[in-house]
Chain A
Amino acid sequence: MLSEFSAIEGRSAGFWKLLAGLVVLVLMGAGSFVYVEIHGHAVTGMNNQIVWGLPHVFAISLLIMASGALNMGSMSTVFAVKQFEQFGRFSAFLSIALLIGGLTVLMLDLGRPDNMLLPMIHMNFRSMFTWNVFLYTGFMTLCLLYLWTMFEYKQYKKLIGTAAFGWRLVLTTGTGSIFGVIQGREVFGSAITAPTFVAISLTSGTALGILLLVYTFRFTRRELDDRLIFGMRNALIFFLLLVAYLLVVEKFTRLYDPASYDVESWILTGPWAWLYWLGVWGIGVLIPLTLMFNRNIGNSVNGVLMASAYVVIGAFCFVAHTLLAGQSYPFDLFPGYTISSAFLDGDAGRYAPTLNELLLGLGGVGISGLIYVLGIRFFRMLPEKGQVPKGWELPWSP
Chain B
Amino acid sequence: MTMDRRSVLGLGGAIAAGVALAPGLRLIAAPETSPGSVAASTPGKRWAMLIDTSRCSSDCSACVSACRTENNVPLFGDPERDIHWIRKVELRDQSQRKAPVSLPVLCNHCEQPPCVHVCPTEASFIRHDGLVLIDKHRCIGCRYCIIACPYKARSLVFYKTKPPKDTNPNVPIRAAGVVEKCTFCAHRLDEGKLPACVEACAKADKGAMLFGDLNDPKSEISQRLLKEKSQTIRPDLGLKPHVHYQGI
Residues of A within 8 A of B (CB): 39-42, 46-49, 51-52, 110-113, 115-116, 118-124, 126-130, 133-134, 137-138, 140-141, 144-145, 147-148, 151-152, 178, 181-185, 188, 327, 331, 333-334, 336-345, 350, 378-380
Contacts and interface: CB of A to CB of B under 8 A. Distances in A.
B119 interface: yes
A337 B92 contact: yes
Nearest to B29: A121
A114 to B, nearest CB: 9
Contacts of A178: 144
Given A333-B105, A334-B233, A42 B78 contact: yes
A111 B139 contact: yes
B120 A341 contact: no
B17 interface: yes
B58 to A, nearest CB: 10
Contact of A127 (B88, B89, B120): B120
Given A182-B114, A336-B95, A345-B89, A40 B157 contact: yes
6 contacts: A110-B142, A124-B121, A147-B9, A333-B234, A344-B79, A345-B87
Interface string B2-36: 00011001101100110110111000101000000
B191 interface: no
B13 to A, nearest CB: 4
Interface residues of B, number: 72
Nearest to A346: B89
A141 B17 contact: yes
A145 B23 CA distance: 20
B13 A145 contact: yes
A130 B158 contact: no
Contact of B139 (A113, A115, A188, A345): A115
Given A40-B160, A183-B150, A340-B89, 16 more contacts: A40-B176, A48-B154, A51-B146, A52-B143, A110-B141, A111-B141, A111-B157, A112-B177, A122-B121, A123-B30, A124-B117, A127-B118, A184-B151, A336-B93, A337-B101, A345-B152
Contacts of B170: none
Interface of B: 5-6, 9-10, 12-13, 16-17, 19-20, 22-24, 28, 30, 76, 78-82, 84, 87-95, 101, 105, 114, 116-123, 138-144, 146-152, 154-160, 175-179, 233-234, 237, 248
A120 B144 CA distance: 17
Contact of A350 (B80, B91, B139, B248): B80
Nearest to A147: B9
B179 A345 contact: no
Contacts of A116: 140
Given A48-B81, A331-B150, A112 B156 contact: no
A184 B20 contact: no
Given A111-B142, A343-B84, A337 B117 contact: no
A111 B160 contact: no
Contacts, number: 221
Contacts of A46: 156, 158
A42 B248 CA distance: 36
B148 A112 contact: no
A178 B94 CA distance: 33
Nearest to A148: B9
Sorted nearest first, the 8 A-B pairs with minimum C-beta distance are A111-B141, A184-B150, A111-B177, A47-B80, A129-B120, A137-B20, A51-B143, A144-B13
Residue of A40, A181, A188 most packed against chain B (CB within 10 A): A40
A141 B123 CA distance: 28
Nearest to B155: A48
B233 A120 contact: no
Contacts of A119: 23, 120-121, 140
Contacts of B19: 137, 140-141
Contacts of B88: 341-342
A112 B139 contact: yes
A133 B120 contact: yes
Contacts of A134: 20, 23-24
Contact of B23 (A39, A123, A181): A123
Contacts of B156: 41, 46, 48, 51, 111
Given A120-B23, A151-B9, A340-B90, A183 B151 contact: no
B80 A48 contact: yes
B190 to A, nearest CB: 24
A353 B175 CA distance: 24
A42 B159 contact: yes
A140 B12 CA distance: 10
A334 B117 CA distance: 24
Contacts of B119: 124, 127
B193 to A, nearest CB: 26
Given A147-B9, A341-B105, A184 B139 contact: no
B246 to A, nearest CB: 14
Given A124-B122, A331-B152, A379 B5 contact: yes
